[in-house]
Amino acid sequence: DGGITQSPKYLFRKEGQNVTLSCEQNLNHDAMYWYRQDPGQGLRLIYYSQIVNDFQKGDIAEGYSVSREKKESFPLTVTSAQKNPTAFYLCASSIQSRTSRLDNEQFFGPGTRLTVL
Amino acid sequence: AQSVTQLGSHVSVSEGALVLLRCNYSSSVPPYLFWYVQYPNQGLQLLLKYTSAATLVKGINGFEAEFKKSETSFHLTKPSAHMSDAAEYFCAVSDRGNQFYFGTGTSLTVIP
């Protein structure tokens, strides 16, 4: 079955440590996204990538970094510079079609809940 | 610029009653509109999407939404609520660049 996987489901980190969240998709989608979800704030875009080896900052990129070396993978690193990293992190992907309005929805992974101790 | 406003962060309905979740959007181009549902500690699942083929869009689990350009609205409805509908619902608007702009969500509680 095609889909998006995120690992781990739950992650605990000590203050001052960097941690990397995994996101893999086998949908052959060009675009991938990382969102942060906090209670009452909806989804906020951290980074997105429309093509391999290219990515752009979203609304809250400070303290985060990403890479896109393969089409299938878009890992997110939460660095020690992120002042309040405890949150639910969601990865998504989409086809990135500019010609078809029917295929532009985003597909989401199950999420990773990060807690800083 | 695109944005979405969801009126009511919490909505409670009785089992069997009408569900109405409100969404208003702002878009400088013809919008793509979506409703997603999220169950606790899970990702978002697409309920339905507006693609301009029809203003009344039917989705999964008996939900539907109507695109009203004059009101810049895309409200989500379901005639009869089930206990299993209790979840968080997100409205989203997308531009042609595939960036999504999400509302802050509406938490639906279904009272038995």
| Mean pLDDT across B5-33 | 92
- Where does the pLDDT of residue B99 fall: very low under 50, low under 70, confident under 90, or very high at 90 and above? confident
Contact B42 A102 (CB under 8 A): no
DSSP letters spanning chain B: --EEE-S-SEEEEETTS-EEE--EEE-SSPPEEEEEEE-TTS-EEEEEEE-SS-SEEE-GGG-EEEEETTTTEEEEEESS--GGG-EEEEEEEE-TT--EEE---EEEEEE-
- Taking the C-alpha atoms of residue A4 and residue A33, their distance in angstroms, rounded to an integer, is 11
Residue B6 above 80 pLDDT?
Answer: yes
**Least Cα separation, residue A84 to chain B (angstroms):** 19
Tens of pLDDT, residues A8-41: 999 999 988 999 999 999 999 999 999 999 987 8
- Taking the C-alpha atoms of residue A73 and residue A104, their distance in angstroms, rounded to an integer, is 19
Q: How many residues does chain B have?
A: 112
Q: What is the mean pLDDT of chain A?
A: 90
CA nearest B43: which of A25, A99, A77, A13? A25
| Mean pLDDT across B34-43 | 94
From chain A, pick out residues whose CB is under 8 angstroms from the CB of B51. 101-102
Tens of pLDDT, residues A44-101: 999 999 899 999 999 999 999 999 999 999 999 999 888 899 999 999 999 865 555 5
**Least Cα separation, residue A85 to chain B (angstroms):** 17
pLDDT at residue B11, as a whole number: 97
Q: What is the mean pLDDT of chain B?
A: 92
Residue B63 above 90 pLDDT?
Answer: yes
- Taking the C-alpha atoms of residue B93 and residue A12, their distance in angstroms, rounded to an integer, is 33
pLDDT at residue A102, as a whole number: 52
Say which DSSP state A17 is in: -
Residue B97 above 80 pLDDT?
Answer: no
